């Protein structure tokens, strides 16, 4: 029996984790309104793509069938038609306008930063991530910050995922507007989590920002999406969304560590 199936059967809480599955060709389950919008736009576009593909295929087949010397030995004298040229020029323009309306709305939502309750700074290093919760300080005025390294394969326990688990997850509360500030300390990185609909470049000397609003609890996995060196594939991202009381307890415990 497949080991993945065994893990799901014996560790049922992992079935809600958002990870890629073997032979997966679709999206991971969305956990944010942004990712839901991305998936809905994709499905809407696929509708138009299928219609256009069927129509173009039908035209090609019809052309190949009729425009040959065996079917029509006498060639047509028709060179062009004003009406048909207007139709095949205007129709694609109308389709693009129909597609543009939801696209602009989604692009605006991707750029919009709603007044955040929490701000988290994410810094990419070769080859790990560090997180800084700048909204909280201890008695000495120090921010809460920690590094997040990938757990080596030989240190994994039953139910953990290879190349995706980290020693310190980024913990955030659900149903809360969060601002993620992304940068890098050395080379280009990219902080990307598919289920959250986030892919933000980490550029040395520059701060990029994106917003986050997670609707359900869970652990969401991602990886660096910018080729950043020899260990590019070994700096995963793990975001754990919990209820607000659990988040407050986690913050308190982090300061006491």
For residue range 142-162, what is the model confidence (pLDDT) as tens digits? 888 899 999 998 888 888 888
142 and 199 both lie in a single domain = yes
Q: Is the pLDDT of residue 243 over 90?
A: yes
189 in a structural domain: yes
Query: What is the 3-state composition of the chain as percent helix, strand, coil, each rounded to the nearest 5?
Result: 40, 25, 35
24 in a structural domain: no
| CATH number of the CATH domain containing 86 | 1.10.287.90
128 and 251 both lie in a single domain = yes
122 and 221 both lie in a single domain = yes
158 and 95 both lie in a single domain = no
Can you tell me the distance from the alpha carbon of 257 to that of 250, in angstroms, rounded to the nearest whole number? 11
Task: Give the domain range for residue 52.
Answer: 33-111
76 and 170 both lie in a single domain = no
133 and 251 both lie in a single domain = yes
162 and 137 both lie in a single domain = yes
Can you tell me the distance from the alpha carbon of 101 to that of 48, in angstroms, rounded to the nearest whole number? 14
State the total domains in the chain: 2
> For residue range 167-192, what is the model confidence (pLDDT) as tens digits?
999 999 999 999 999 999 999 999 99
Q: What is the pLDDT of residue 15?
A: 41
98 and 123 both lie in a single domain = no
123 and 248 both lie in a single domain = yes
Return the number of other C-beta atoms located less than 10 Å from residue 146's C-beta. 15
């Amino acid at each position: 029996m497949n080991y993945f199936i065994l893990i799901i059967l014996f560790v049922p809480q992992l079935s809600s984790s958002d990870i890629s599955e073997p032979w997966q060709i679709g999206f991971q389950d969305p956990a944010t309104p942004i990712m839901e919008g991305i998936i809905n736009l994709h499905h809407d576009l696929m509708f138009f793509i299928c219609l256009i593909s069927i129509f173009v295929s039908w035209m090609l087949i019809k052309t190949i069938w009729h425009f040959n010397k065996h079917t029509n030995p006498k060639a047509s004298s028709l060179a062009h038609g004003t009406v048909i040229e207007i139709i095949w020029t205007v129709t694609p323009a109308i389709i693009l306008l129909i597609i543009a309306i939801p696209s602009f709305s989604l692009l605006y939502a991707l750029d919009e930063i709603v007044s955040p309750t929490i701000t988290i700074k994410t810094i990419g290093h070769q080859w790990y991530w560090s997180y800084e919760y700048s909204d909280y300080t201890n008695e000495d005025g120090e921010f809460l910050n920690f590094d997040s390294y990938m757990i080596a394969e030989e240190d994994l326990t039953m139910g953990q995922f290879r190349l995706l688990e980290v020693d310190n997850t980024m913990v955030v509360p659900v149903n809360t507007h969060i601002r993620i500030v992304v940068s890098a300390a050395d080379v280009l990185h990219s902080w990307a989590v598919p289920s959250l609909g986030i892919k933000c470049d980490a550029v040395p000397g520059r701060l990029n920002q994106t917003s986050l609003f997670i609707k359900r609890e869970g652990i969401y996995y991602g990886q660096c999406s910018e080729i950043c060196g020899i260990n590019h594939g070994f700096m995963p991202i793990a975001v754990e969304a919990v209820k607000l009381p659990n988040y407050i307890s986690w913050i308190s415990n982090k300061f006491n560590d």
